[in-house]
């Protein structure tokens, strides 16, 4: 009996993979869907509401309720020169402005991973956080608590406890960095170029150091007791280290942002690469 030949059925060819740009677009769409809705959305708003409220109230309380003891007229003029703006911690007004802008962006702007074109408000918010809010917050927190642990009299004398409440101390020296960390985890942002970002950080710190010397020139006293007990070479080293440490804080923020949001950054890079080609 003759054997019948079986016809081989060819398996259908799998469809070709989508172009890389389509894969990137889909990844970004999925990220936007998860990131701009649900838990992320409400957590982000909550952080910015808390940041705006506590920093504004902290500034208000500090300005109107924290009053130095009555001094002799000459000493009072020295203490008053530069007011409360001579302290880097009072520049938490910078944090209040950032969180307010971020809250406005949450309500009326966009938190999409890569909107095109990027709104001006979003650009300002992202640059302000990268160059100023994050590095200054961590410089203040880490520097303050290290010196405080070593010898509090060099940074926050015990006599201030009577007029500067503990909760306000934590707002300006602790919460400021904790909120910045939470912001990194809940807000995607594309950092500026490293040159633009670090330049902003360095310029801000140099302007503050110049301001400290102006206060010293007119009042005859340094803003922080630590600067009174060290000589000029040590002051130069300390102030230079302050700028250098701010740059390290900037790089730390940039690193965290890239690690936490690695898939989104990779998708944006892939899309931009294939758009060019």
Please say if the pLDDT value at position 203 is more than 50.
yes
Query: In this structure, how many other beta carbons lie within 10 angstroms of the beta carbon of residue 173?
Result: 21
For residue 72, what pLDDT is reported? 45
Nearest to 188 by CA among 248, 245, 249, 265: 265
Q: What is the spatial distance between Cα 183 and Cα 123, in angstroms, rounded to a whole number?
A: 16
Is the separation of the CB atoms in 93 and 138 below 8 Å? Answer: no
pTM: 0.85
Q: Which of 203, 70, 84, 80 minimizes the C-alpha distance to 136?
A: 203
% of the chain exceeding 90 in pLDDT: 52
Burial of 108 (0-12, 13-18, 19+ CB in 10 A): exposed
pLDDT tens readout for residues 79-124: 555 566 667 656 678 999 999 999 999 999 999 888 888 999 999 9
CB 248 within 8 A of CB 205: no
CB of 230 closer than 8 Å to CB of 238: yes
Cα 19 from Cα 277, distance rounded (Å): 12
CB 182 within 8 A of CB 47: yes
Q: Which residue has the tokens 């310029």?
A: 203
């Amino acid at each position: 009996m003759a054997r019948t030949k079986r016809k081989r059925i060819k398996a259908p060819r799998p469809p070709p993979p989508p172009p890389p740009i389509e894969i990137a677009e889909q990844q970004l769409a999925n990220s936007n869907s998860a990131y701009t809705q649900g838990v992320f959305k409400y957590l982000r708003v909550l952080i910015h509401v808390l940041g705006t409220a506590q920093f504004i109230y902290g500034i208000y309380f500090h300005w109107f309720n924290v009053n130095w003891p009555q001094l002799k007229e000459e000493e009072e003029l020295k203490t008053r020169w530069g007011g409360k703006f001579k302290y880097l911690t009072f520049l938490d007004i910078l944090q209040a402005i950032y969180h307010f802008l971020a809250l406005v962006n949450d309500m009326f702007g966009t938190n999409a991973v890569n909107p095109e074109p990027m709104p001006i408000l979003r650009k300002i918010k992202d640059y302000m956080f990268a160059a100023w809010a994050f590095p200054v917050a961590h410089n203040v927190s880490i520097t303050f608590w290290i010196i405080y642990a070593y010898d509090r009299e060099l940074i926050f004398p015990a006599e201030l406890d009577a007029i500067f409440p503990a909760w306000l101390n934590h707002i300006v020296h602790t919460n400021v960095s904790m909120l910045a960390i939470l912001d990194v985890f809940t807000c995607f942002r594309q950092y500026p170029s490293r040159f633009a970002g670090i330049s902003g950080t360095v310029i801000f710190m140099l302007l503050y150091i110049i301001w400290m010397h102006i206060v010293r020139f007119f009042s005859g006293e340094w803003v922080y007791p630590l600067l009174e007990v060290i000589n000029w070479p040590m002051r130069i080293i300390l102030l230079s280290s302050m700028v250098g440490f701010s740059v390290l804080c900037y790089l730390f923020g940039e690193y965290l942002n890239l690690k936490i949001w690695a898939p989104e950054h990779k998708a944006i890079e892939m899309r931009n690469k294939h758009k060019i080609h």
